[in-house]
Amino acid sequence: MKYIFWGVATTIVYLIVRLISMKIFDDTMLPVLISQTLTIIFAFVVNKLFVFTTKQTKSVFVQFVRFLWGRLFVAGIDFFLTYSKPIRFK
């Protein structure tokens, strides 16, 4: 249940940051970069503090790098979908 709650909270943080940054910046890719960066940091912190609370033998840096690799795949999809032009049906 904690994982689901914080996953939804992470999605909400992403949407809020993305919408705010879209209003501030007149660019398509910068809001994606800002929202993905802040969301990855937020998700790592809440997962570390509230979801997976067992003692880890790896350093926090190593844990973050491993977490980052998984999240970069999703960020790549976000960048691709934002950059690509939508398909128009006639």
Better-scored residue on pLDDT, 70 or 34: 34
> Measured between alpha carbons, how far is 22 from 89 in angstroms, rounded to an integer?
26
Token pair 């939508």 in the structure block, residue: 86
pLDDT > 90? residue 11: yes
Q: Which two tokens stand for residue 82?
A: 């934002």
Token pair 């940091």 in the structure block, residue: 41
Q: Which two tokens stand for residue 34?
A: 């800002």
Contact at 8 Å (CB) between 53 and 6? no
* Amino acid code (one letter) for 39: T
pLDDT digits (tens, 9 = 90+) for 12-66: 999 999 999 999 998 888 999 999 999 999 999 998 888 887 777 788 888 888 8
Question: Looking at residue 87, what DSSP letter applies?
Answer: P
